[in-house]
Chains A and B, each alone.
Chain A
Amino acid sequence: KQEVTQIPAALSVPEGENLVLNCSFTDSAIYNLQWFRQDPGKGLTSLLLIQSSQREQTSGRLNASLDKSSGRSTLYIAASQPGDSATYLCAGGDGTSGTYKYIFGTGTRLKVLA
């Protein structure tokens, strides 16, 4: 059974710092991996989706990588801003049952200090 872990649970950094958020998964047969942002009281917003055949995806200041062999994905945020403060969740696509489902991590709560 696929399990997804995010460590640390919370992180505080000063504005302008480059940072990396980590996501680990147990089953290398992951279908794809998606990174989401969740603001307090809101739903999840998809940031980046990496297919199993890809190694990374980029959008603006965000870069996500996927290493299936080591069971890891990272989300790199360049030049962090206070507006980046949110909870970031990763979700691994599990297609082993024949019908595609996502397994979510518990998230990393990021605070960027002005």
Chain B
Amino acid sequence: NAGVTQTPKFRVLKTGQSMTLLCAQDMNHEYMYWYRQDPGMGLRLIHYSVGEGTTAKGEVPDGYNVSRLKKQNFLLGLESAAPSQTSVYFCASSYTSGGQPQHFGDGTRLSIL
């Protein structure tokens, strides 16, 4: 009963490096979301997906790209990491667009030096 699994859990990058964060859910959810959580700012939506093969921009999409090639996976990419992208990243999924609770992973703590 894994739910939403995020990998890796921790990562340190140097400015300019690239990396991909993986989110996997085993609940057959249609909707998936990537958020970042920063002190004093709450969770902010980066990108989201309403189904396999579809993605859309959220509140803070600049500097990030996403892909949803398989229904169960949602990837978040940083092409050229910047110190401003130091944050805790959370993935979430839900069965439908509304009326259903979001299920969250445990987060990825990312530090950009």
Distance between B55 CB and nearest chain A CB, rounded to angstroms: 11
Given A43-B107, A44-B104, A99-B48, 12 additional A-B pairs, CB 8 A:
A32-B98, A34-B102, A43-B106, A44-B90, A44-B102, A49-B101, A99-B50, A101-B33, A101-B58, A102-B45, A104-B44, A107-B42
Distance between B99 CB and nearest chain A CB, rounded to angstroms: 6
Which chain B residues border A105 with CB–CB below 8 Å?
Answer: 42
- Sample 22 A-B pairs with CB under 8 A, ordered by A number: A32-B99, A36-B104, A41-B106, A41-B107, A42-B107, A43-B4, A44-B92, A44-B102, A46-B102, A46-B103, A51-B99, A91-B102, A100-B31, A100-B97, A100-B98, A101-B33, A101-B45, A101-B58, A102-B102, A104-B44, A105-B42, A106-B41
Known: A32-B99, A42-B106, A43-B106. A104 touches B43 (CB 8 A): yes
Residue pair A93, B98 in contact (C-beta under 8 Å): yes
Which chain B residues border A44 with CB–CB below 8 Å?
Answer: 43, 90, 92, 102, 104
B79-106 vs A, Cβ < 8 Å mask (1 yes, 0 no): 0000000000010100001111111111
Distance between B104 CB and nearest chain A CB, rounded to angstroms: 4
Task: Report the interface size for chain B: residues with CB under 8 A from the other chain.
Answer: 27
Which chain B residues border A45 with CB–CB below 8 Å?
Answer: 104
**A95 proximal to B (CB < 8 A):** yes
Q: Which bucket holds chain A's interface residue count? A: 20 to 34
